[in-house]
Structure 1
Amino acid sequence: MSQALTIAGFPLPSSAGSINAYISAANRIPVLSAAEELGLARKFRDEEDIDAARQLVLSHLRLVIAVARGYLGYGLPHADLIQEGNIGLMKAVKRYDPERGVRLVSFAIHWIKAEIHEYILKNWRLVKIATTKAQRKLFFNLRSMKQGFAALGVDEVNSVAAKLGVKPEEVVEMETRFSGGDIALDPLVEDDDDSFAPVAYLAADAGSEPTAQIERKEIEHLHNEGLQDALATLDDRSRVIIQRRWLAGDGAEAATLHELADEYGVSAERIRQIEVKALQKMKGVLSTAM
């Protein structure tokens, strides 16, 4: 814990050995007055005084803790959220202009939230749909906009979509993902012998095993290659009849005996005889090749 919450270049109080100890220690650091903050900010800006920057950061750690607490609902460790918020705080201190007449707390909160948002989007399982600005807004506002845990009705979905500037179906998809729980691939160590995790049944299909898939593709390739060789042994008429009767492909309907008979000016029985003879010849070629 102490390592996770260490701020590079800004040592924390020695009592920070756990999340509770860290929070307690951070809350004991005095809040700077406006005059103290202004003096330190100018000293850091004009003289690049690292100790001044350190004091600015440490005095605002409680702000990071408060902001990070608001994102605990996303299933990520509180310590990690605080760590990312601390990075945002340091960026804010580096960019803070004390002459604008705005307190650091107001300036820093944007940087703290931005850093936490990025961390959540990179690590949470919904990252793939939170790509646009509107979707990111939906991601971080849907939970707070829902009234209770019940599923949103049609009117509520349309209302949320209108407020956040997204499509109703995106609201439905996001809500579905929020309500779905993650399942461990492997059972926990403390689980009993009767536990059943996805890893047990995902491997049950032998055809999905990588080596089986490779073998199947090689066999299909050989069959296709052998089929072309067998077709090449036929005369043109026989080849066309086999292709149109048995190898139409792409959803096309197979030609009937009567259709081919009309095209070649022979009887349907004659087409059937040619077909039977061609298939027998191809079968002999394929059996030899295999």
Structure 2
Amino acid sequence: MINKVQILSVTPPGNLDAYIRIANLWPMLSIEEEKILTKRLRYNSDLDAAKTLILSHLRFVIHISRNYSGYGLLQADLIQEGNVGLMKAVRRFNPEIGVRLVSFAVHWIKSEIHEYVLRNWRIVKVATTKSQRKLFFNLRKTKKRLGWFNEEEIQIVARELGVSSRDVREMESRMSAQDITFNPLPEEDFDGKVNTCSIQYLQDKKSNFASGVEQDNWEEHAANKLSNALLRLDERSRHIIYARWLDKTKKNTLQTIANNYGISAERVRQLEKNAMKKLKIAIEA
């Protein structure tokens, strides 16, 4: 396992040129030296061997990172992400497989840089599926050769990359789009540009504030009228209405109420019917 001290030792400092010069000073390992170090790490967990393996391969990370300079990201950040991939490769490398460490590490270095570019190139993710990721990193190279795509060129690219022509069109559109400020500062909102927008100018078509207020007022008004109407009923009728319709815990049956008052269920039904009529007249008044 590689500790934090060793991670910091391969992190580009503020002066990138100085970092690159120092990284290139580390000598490249011979096949025999690399084999000894990788075995010491794998079988003895030798951290000094891991450090030497990492530092001697930093030049390769720097070289690979330069291939991603066209995405507008800092090279120091690209190198740092690539170094993370290098450390993962060193940790997983098996010296018995018969290949050089750099050949194994290239995949891990590129993988970490790819993830970093996809996370940071745009606010909105431009590549989420496997085919979109493949297109994202290959379409830029292809466009340098073809320029703007016509239908024939789209078909060529689709065949070369093994994706659908629809995927090519969609990715070209995503990569051509530009991020814009969603909610610019006031001083930025008077530069004459038409590609800025503000949350203050957006309309929420799914909500109606006026209707919501009106509905709340109506419900409060109806509740007040019902309360006043209930007060006009006699105590027995008021209890019947409450037990039958307003008790949130349970709805009492006619027979249950009849047993409480010592009358028939039919008489309770008649009292309930009369009470409901009185309530309706009071509420509509």
TM-score, normalised via structure 1 length: 0.63
Q: CA 1:129/1:13 → structure 2, altered by over 3 Å: closer, same or farther? A: closer
Q: 1:195 aligns with which of 191, 195, 216?
A: 191
User: Is 1:109 aligned to residue 110 of structure 2?
Assistant: no
Letter of the structure 2 residue corresponding to residue 161 of structure 1 = A
- Residues 220 and 89 of structure 1: is their aligned pair in 2 closer, same or farther, counting only changes over 3 Å? farther
Name the structure 2 match of 1:19: 16
What secondary structure does 1:9 align onto?
Answer: helix
Note the alpha carbon deviations across 1:207-237, whole angstroms, 9 max, x for none.
4599xx5624615856998xxxxxxxxxxxx
Larger Cα-atom Rg = 2
Residues 124 and 48 of structure 1: is their aligned pair in 2 closer, same or farther, counting only changes over 3 Å?
same
- Summarize deviations over 1:159-194 as a string: whole Å, max 9, x none: 1112222221221121122222333446699x8895
Tell me the amino acid that sits aligned with residue 202 of structure 1.
S
| Residue aligned with 2:5, SS | coil
Out of 59, 67, 70, the residue aligned to residue 70 of structure 1 is: 67
On the 8 A contact 1:185/1:199 being kept in 2, the answer is: no
Match for residue 5 of structure 2 among 6, 9, 13:
9
Give the gaps of 5 or more residues in structure 1: 1-6, 226-288
Amino acid at match of 1:44: L
* Partner residue of 2:201 out of 202, 205, 212: 205
Is 2:128 aligned against 1:134? no
Output the CA distance in 2 between the equivalents of 1:53 and 1:28: 18
Residue number among 64, 78, 83 corresponding to 2:80 in the alignment: 83
Q: Which amino acid aligns with 1:67?
A: I
Q: Tell me the CA shift for residue 102 of structure 1.
A: 0.7
After the TM superposition, which residues 1-290 of structure 1 pair with which residues of structure 2 at under 5 Å, given as runs? 8-10=4-6, 11-12=8-9, 16-125=13-122, 128-148=125-145, 150-185=147-182, 194-196=190-192, 201-203=197-199, 205=201, 207-208=203-204, 215-216=209-210, 218-219=212-213
For structure 2, list consecutive stretches of 5 or more residues without a partner in the other structure: 220-283
Which structure has greater helix proportion?
2
RMSD: 3.6
Instruction: Indicate the percent of aligned positions where both proteins have the same amino acid.
Output: 48
Question: What is the DSSP-based 3-state SS (H/G/I as helix, E as strand, rest coil) of the residue aligned with 2:158?
Answer: helix
